[in-house]
Structure formats: structure tokens, C-alpha cells
Structure 1
Amino acid sequence: MRILCVVPARGGSKGVPRKNVRVVAGRPLIAWTVEQALAARPAMDVVVSTDDDEIAEAARAAGALVPFRRPAELARDETPTEPVVRHAIEQARAADAAPDAVMLLQATSPIRLPGTVSRALARFAATGVDSLVGVVPQAPFLWTDGDEPSAAYDVTARPRRQDLTPQTLRYRETGSLYLTRTWVYDELDNRIGGRVGLFVMDEIEGVDIDTALDLAVAEQTLATLTSTGTTP
């Protein structure tokens, strides 16, 4: 199975300006994700989709392919991710490298433990699902606000955290990792479709950098992991 790994990284980030090339724990942010993808087995075609020269240079320096430049109309603030991935698929097909599946890795979720990406590839192959969604577990103590707030759990039988099971936990999409058969993008225009599987990641891998605080947390975590030899 040929897998295209797409790392979207546009230049116009707003919450943390230029975050994709910010040095985080000694490396440009995008380098963490590229190196994790390149270390995975089986090997993938690791491509960075960007509209930005500096990001392209940092991605190439980390070992990624940057075989095309993302069009400006796909690099706006309101641009969803799916058309960016479809563009990368079209470029791969034009280069006679049509993928059977696409792994979408978000550069702004740089914390992935050694073996995580390989484990996702193995689970995808073993289960035969059409899309695999990276998630982290969390307690079910969630509420929906409104005129009559409602809880996502039975408030009359509140469980203790230590008694929670995989079935009673809830799972939050990290945004970090998706693995999807190409036909899902072609037919459903979505990264999630067909038979869906959850890929449970470690809680530490759930950081998504949208703010300066997120960036500080990611930097501290990556620095700690590096000091203990547990990266990329």
C-alpha cells in the first residue's frame, strides 16, 4: 500500500505568528512532525504542502519533499484542510505516485512519542478501516450549555476517575493524526468516512498549538522528552 503523508503548513498563522518555523526545543516546529513521519515504518511519501518559502526551506532541511507550492486560494484563513489534501493527492497522481491512503499529520501537534506513527500504520493495515482518527482519552464530565444545561454522563451516578473504563471514557480528536483511504477524499470530500477506527494516543500527545501558552507547553514537553531520549 502506498501512503502519502501530507503535512499542511501555511505561512499566515494568526494565533502564534510564523509558528510553523518557530524554533521549539531546538528545532523549527515543522521539523518535529517531518522527522516523526520519516522515522515511521513502512516508509511513506512525506510531503509538506505550503505557500511559504521559509516553511518550504525548513521542511526540506528536515527531509520532507516539497514538490509543489500550495495555491494562494488554498492558503486562506478560512480554507478547510480537505481541499489542501485533495490538491496534494492530485499532485501525487500527476507525478505517477498515486496513493492508496493519506496520512494527515498536523505540524502544530508536534508531540508524538517514538513509534506512534508506525503504530498507527500497523493498526490501519490490521483493522482494514477506511479512516483512522487520532484521539486522546478524557473523563466524561462534559456539559452542553443552554437554557437547560445537560451533562454527557449520569449525574446521579457520577463515576470515580479510577473506575472509568475504555467504554465509559470519552475520546477527543487531537487533530494530530488521521489516516484515510484515498477514495474517502474522492467520494466524500472528508478525512473521516467509511468504516472509522479510533487510534488512541497518549495524553501527552494531545497538545495542539493555537496560543502562546500551547507553544510553551509543547516546548517544555519536547525538551523533557529530548533529555530522556524519547524523541522524535
Structure 2
Amino acid sequence: MNILCVIPVRGGSKGIPRKNVRDLGGKPLMAWTVEQAVSAKAGLDVVVSTDDPEMADIARNYGADVPFMRPAELAEDTTATEPVVAHAINFRIAQGRTPDAVVLLQVTSPLRHPDTLDRAVQQFFDTGVDSLVGVVPTPPFLWRLGDDAADTPVTAEYDFERRPRRQELTPQQIPYRENGSLYVSRPKLYLEHNNRLGGKIGLFILDELEGVDIDTELDFALAQQQLAALGKGL
């Protein structure tokens, strides 16, 4: 079984400059995800796609393969993730290493349990889905702003007249938030549909502690706290 794991890291970052190499818990942010991928028992083919020499060196130091430097046209602020992953897939195919599945990991979600990636890969193949998306449970008490022209200015996403207690909710009643941590997909979704999701989609439910997505200084501070809670902190 050939499972390609693509970890995209770009040199440019407007929110937090150079955040992918910033120290988090004693190592660069991106190193957490690279180490998790390399140490997975599934034997992932871990490829870091980057346009940045420093990030390429960090990736190699933590055990990933950096077989190419990402082309400039795939490293712009407006570049979507899908063509970056497709580029890595096509590179491996050209080497005669066609993947059976593709794992996409985002380094801005560095908190994962040691067995998370293996469980995700196992679920992907056991359930026969075409794509698997990592999600975290969220509180169900959601509201939406209504149309200004509508009689009702706001609408509830739940029955507020019969407010349930959270501990009584069934898994089917709980909303799940896609946090960008991980995806497992059939290669054809990237190559034929330019999408990480499609076909029969499954949910891989992550622990709430794994739900952090670093985009701001506050996110960094929260990640430090979560690392300590997971036993991986300073």
C-alpha cells in the first residue's frame, strides 16, 4: 500500500510572519506535524511541499522528504491547496510511485494524538470512503443572521424551545467543525476534480484538544496550553 502524505508549508505568511518556523513547545511549528507523519505506523511517504529553503531544511531534519522546491506559481498568497497537492501526486507518479491514497496535513493544526494518523488511515480503508475529513465536535447552540428584508432577523440552528442538555445529545445531533488538521483522499479527487473532498465522504472525529488551528497570536498561546494538556509541552 502506497500512501502519500503531503505537508504544504509556504514561506509567506501575512497573519503571523514566518509562523511555520516559529518555536512552539521547543521546536518549529511545522516540526510537530512532520514528526507525527514520519512516526506513523502506516508507513506514510511523507513529502513536504515548500518554496522556502529554511523550511525545506527543517523538514529534512525531522525526517520528511523534500524531493522538489515548490514552483513560484504554486506559492502565491492566492494559491489554493489542491493544486499544490496535485503537483506532489504527479511528481510521485512520474517517479513510478502512484499512491493508493493521499493524506493532507496542515502544520497549523499541530496537536494530534500519537495514534491519530494511523486511526484515520485505518478508518479510510475500512469504510471504503472516497475522502475523509478531520472534524471536532462543537456546541450545537448556533444562530444565523437573517435577511434584512425578512420578518425574522435571526434564526436558530436548534430548537430553542426544547433546549437539550449537551450531555444528552446523540452523535447525530452534534455539529462537527472541519478544522483543517487532516484529510485522506483518493488521488483522483485532486487530479480529476481539483478537490480534497468528494464522492462518499466520511468524518474522522478528532479529540477536542486536537482542534486548535493556529492563525493568530492568541492561537499560538492556546496551542502552548493544549500542548501541556497533552503532555507534550515545555
Q: What's the TM-score once normalised by structure 1's chain length?
A: 0.95
Aligned to 1:216: 221
Provide structure 1 residue ranges, at least 5 long, that are not aligned to the other structure: none
> 5 Å matches for 1:136-147?
136-146=136-146, 147=148
Aligned to 2:191: 186
Q: Is contact 1:25–1:220 with CA below 8 Å preserved after alignment?
A: no
**Alpha-carbon distance between aligned partners in 1 of 2:88 and 2:21, rounded to the nearest angstrom:** 21
Task: Classify the secondary structure of the residue corresponding to 2:230.
Answer: helix
Percent identity over the alignment is 62
Give the aligned residue type for 2:194.
D
**Alpha-carbon distance between aligned partners in 1 of 2:106 and 2:233, rounded to the nearest angstrom:** 24
Aligned to 2:53: 53
Matching of residue 149 in structure 1 with residue 154 in structure 2? yes
Matching of residue 83 in structure 1 with residue 88 in structure 2? no
Alignment partner of 1:195 out of 193, 200, 203 = 200
CA distance 1:127–1:145, change in 2 (3 Å): same
Aligned to 2:125: 125
Task: Classify the secondary structure of the residue corresponding to 1:47.
Answer: strand
Task: Classify the secondary structure of the residue corresponding to 1:133.
Answer: strand
> 5 Å matches for 1:100-115?
100-115=100-115
Measure how far apart 1:125 and its partner are.
1.2
**Alpha-carbon distance between aligned partners in 2 of 1:183 and 1:227, rounded to the nearest angstrom:** 36
Aligned length: 229
**Alpha-carbon distance between aligned partners in 2 of 1:134 and 1:113, rounded to the nearest angstrom:** 13
**Alpha-carbon distance between aligned partners in 1 of 2:214 and 2:92, rounded to the nearest angstrom:** 28
Measure how far apart 1:220 and its partner are.
2.5
RMSD across aligned positions (CA) = 1.4
Matching of residue 64 in structure 1 with residue 64 in structure 2? yes
Measure how far apart 1:140 and its partner are.
1.4
**Alpha-carbon distance between aligned partners in 2 of 1:200 and 1:189, rounded to the nearest angstrom:** 24
Aligned to 2:35: 35
Provide, for residues 62-81 of structure 1, a one-character-per-residue CA deviation record: whole Å limited to 9, x for no partner. 10000001111111111111
Measure how far apart 1:228 and its partner are.
8.1
CA distance 1:228–1:78, change in 2 (3 Å): closer
**Alpha-carbon distance between aligned partners in 1 of 2:233 and 2:52, rounded to the nearest angstrom:** 33
Measure how far apart 1:175 and its partner are.
0.2
Aligned to 2:92: 92
**Alpha-carbon distance between aligned partners in 2 of 1:145 and 1:227, rounded to the nearest angstrom:** 40
More displaced 10-residue stretch of structure 1: 217-226 or 46-55: 217-226
Task: Classify the secondary structure of the residue corresponding to 1:57.
Answer: helix
Provide structure 2 residue ranges, at least 5 long, that are not aligned to the other structure: none
